[in-house]
Amino acid sequence: MKCLVAVHEHMVDVAVVGAGQTKYGNHALGLKGMWAEAASKAFASVDGDFDPASVEEAFIGSLAFGGSQLGNTAALLTEHSGMDGVAVRRVENACASSGFAFRDAWMAIKSGQADVVVAGGIEKMNDLTPERKRYWLGVSGDTEWERLAGLTFPGTYALMARRYFHEFDSTHDDLVHVSVKNHLHGSMNADAHIQKEVSFEKAAGGFMVADPLTLYDCCPTSDGASCVVLAADHVAHKFTDTPVWVKGAGAASDNLALHDRPSITQLKATQVASAKAYGMAGLDARQIDVAEVHDCFTIAEVLATEDLGFAQRGEGGRFAREGEGRINEGTTTVNSSGGLKSKGHPLGATGTGQVVEVFKQLRGQVEAGRQVRDAETALTHNVGGSGATCSVHVFGRDR
Amino acid sequence: MSDEVWMGYLLHHEPSYTVVQSPFVLNGQRVFGADSDATTLAVAALLHRLEHDNVSAISVPEGIDASSLSAATGVALHDGDAEEEPPWEVLMSDEAIVVVSQRGATVEIPVFDIEVEVDVEFHAALEAAWGQELSENHVSQGAYVSRAQYDEAAASRLQLHGQANEQGVVWPPRFSHVVDGHSASGMRLQRCGKVMTWTTLSAAGAPSEFSLRAPVLGGVSTVLLALDDGPNGVFLMVDDEESIIEMDARMELVFRRLYAQEGFVRYGLKARAIHD
């Protein structure tokens, strides 16, 4: 018991003191250029003096989809951001790669092994020919069973959507509401891939990708990079007077294949990860002002609002229908950035890209019209594949 | 003797042999369906035979994937070095007709009334796509199921080998041989289930393994089935017959071609509607 008390007394708190990203989309820059841009923006966002050489550890999430550097990607990238020689590694957990990179960075500080750590993510997806790109579709599902059954992720999430409509009072119209909302939010985000509103009628009538999901239910294929600077409590004041504190962190995994899970209309990994994060933060879902949730497909946002506790089980469709996630309209604003649907989804960059958004939201630094009023608390939710991995973080202006 | 539709094929059963024919016809000749070949017909014939006879070993001609046939049926292949020929053999014809016969039996190929005329262009496009897929130069640059990985899972993929204990049934098996904390023994699951959900993926969104045929087929359809023995699984629908898929509809699993890569065909179980 004495030992446990001693450990607790030395446990440090972790703050985000800088965050930046490239615009997501069809990017002219390659891997090195995009990372350099995201890192320089993150370093420049630090209010005080910041020397990249002071970074002790770096964790960079990526699937290494494109960009021509499959092995040792992270070492190549840090060469181009003034962090030469830093202890760095690539973190791979599919679309949750940088959510877990952020978690690893948080743990590095929490454990007392480092004071200043960088977490980031990157993906180059649009430099491949269509045929080569097709090889990468669905690589993070269960290759042996799901891929051989013809599934890529639009198909897997379509299976969830149809089952959800069968089990609950919900139709495809509810997914259209998610799409319309996220396009509205993204239209105001200068870093978003698709900065365009979409009408309900247009979103409802999109090209059928995987029945019942249409083009407007699916996130775009985006290039992008994001970067976040974390610091221990005893050094954070050197960098800023307005840090964003990591109040809770949770992560979990589940069966890789959708069909191996007892329920396909909820993500157990999200439920477990968020319960841990809320518990550590001492908060519940109703106290979260802004949430960046993993809406790779619109049905994923509906399920996430339930699994994260913003809506009751079976009520995610109604939550979307009634516009509860719109900026400043409900208790919790969902995907103020436009989410993966509109901001874009450069796989490995998405998790820390979500942190960039909540860092700015909690410091009142997003574009006019997109700022969540009096935002004090925030949450990020990053999912790998169809729910095999998930990391959730809770943030606050207060320590 | 009897005639029936069996696993999507036309089947004629005699005490000493079984004939399986494709229902599809082109220019008066029986031709294979979109995801069928001589191996899939031979597996169907042998599975039917196994309901009546104990077939312990069989010899197969060139043109049939012997290891997949054995993996799908559990019947041992004839050892070429053995002195005695096995009592059963697979016979092929120039058309899409396969016979499983007792060695030396006199076989008469029956004439079935059922003839489904195939579209010439559709058939040619699919044949061309399969030809391309079967090239040894047709390789994956991304996710990939190697021959070794395919072989390792063959029993669970082709015969639905699972695991069971008092806690329930698990499929595919876990290598730990532990289910919910309790050790489990092997079992073979029934090939039937009901639809929990399904989707049809557009050709552009299909995995690269299906990229040559998906445009011809108009996409690929996948069902998630609750198998009668408990576990769930995802399966492609058969390509060679059209089905309207509905929630809770009963499906059976039949042996078909999935795709080809690096010169060999990956076979698997696909779903087809059970018509009462």
Q: What domains can be seen in chain A, in order of their start residue? A: 2-128+220-394 (3.40.47.10)
Residue A154 preceded by cis peptide, ω within 30: no
Q: What is the pLDDT of residue A7?
A: 47
Q: Above 80 in pLDDT, residue B180?
A: no
Q: What is the pLDDT of residue B185?
A: 78
The answer to whether the CB atoms of A144 and B145 lie below 8 A apart is: yes
What are the pLDDT digits (tens) for A307-318? 999 999 999 999
Among partner residues A148, A163, A213, which is closest to B197 by beta-carbon distance?
A163
CA of A344 vs chain B CAs: smallest distance (Å): 18
Contacts A–B by Cβ distance under 8 A: 115
Q: Which two tokens stand for residue A331?
A: 């208790």
Nearest residue of B to residue A143 by CA position? B143
Of the candidates A299, A258, A302, A293, the one whose C-alpha atom is nearest the C-alpha of residue A274 is A293
pLDDT band at B141; cut points 50, 70, 90: low
Q: Which residue in this structure is represented by tokens 């639905």?
A: B160
Query: What burial letters (b/e) apply to B144-153, b meaning 16+ CB within 10 Å?
Result: bbeeeebeeb
Best A68, A70, A134 residue to mutate vs chain B (most B CBs within 10 Å): A134
Residues of A within an 8 Å Cβ radius of B:
131-132, 134-139, 143-152, 154-155, 158-160, 162-163, 166, 207-213, 257-260, 264
Q: Is B30 on the interface with A (CB under 8 A)?
A: no
Q: Above 90 in pLDDT, residue B130?
A: yes
* Cα distance between residue B24 and residue A89, in whole Å: 56
Nearest residue of B to residue A142 by CA position? B143
Q: Which two tokens stand for residue A118?
A: 């960088």
Q: Is B36 on the interface with A (CB under 8 A)?
A: no
Q: Is B140 on the interface with A (CB under 8 A)?
A: yes
CA of B15 vs chain A CAs: smallest distance (Å): 37
Q: Which amino acid does the sequence have at B10? A: L
Strand partners for B102: B88
Residues of chain A with pLDDT under 70: 1-10
Average pLDDT in the B242-265 region? Answer: 92
pLDDT band at B42; cut points 50, 70, 90: very high
For B:144-163, CB contacts with A below 8 A are 144-145, 149, 153
Best B163, B208, B234 residue to mutate vs chain A (most A CBs within 10 Å): B234
Q: What is the pLDDT of residue A5?
A: 46
Among partner residues A150, A207, A209, which is closest to B222 by beta-carbon distance?
A150
Of the candidates B35, B267, B263, the one whose C-alpha atom is nearest the C-alpha of residue B139 is B263
Residue B173 preceded by cis peptide, ω within 30: no
Q: Which amino acid does the sequence have at B14? A: E
Catalytic residues of A: 95, 345
Helix axes A298-307, A268-281, angle to 10 degrees: 50
Chain A residue numbers with beta carbons less than 8 Å from the beta carbon of B210 are: 150
- The complex scores an ipTM of 0.93
- Between the two ends of chain B, the Cα-to-Cα distance in Å is 22
Instruction: State the DSSP code for B109.
Output: P
Average pLDDT in the B248-271 region? Answer: 95
3-state secondary structure of A181: helix
Biggest CA-to-CA distance, chain B: 59
3-state secondary structure of A360: helix
Nearest residue of A to residue B226 by CA position? A259
Residues 6+ apart with CB under 8 A from A3: none
Q: What is the pLDDT of residue A6?
A: 47
Among partner residues B143, B153, B201, which is closest to A150 by beta-carbon distance?
B201
Q: Is B210 on the interface with A (CB under 8 A)?
A: yes
Q: Which two tokens stand for residue A10?
A: 């030395």
What are the pLDDT digits (tens) for A119-164? 999 999 999 887 777 777 778 999 999 999 999 999 999 999 999 9
Q: What is the pTM of this model?
A: 0.94
Best B179, B201, B213, B258 residue to mutate vs chain A (most A CBs within 10 Å): B201
Q: Which amino acid does the sequence have at A389? A: T
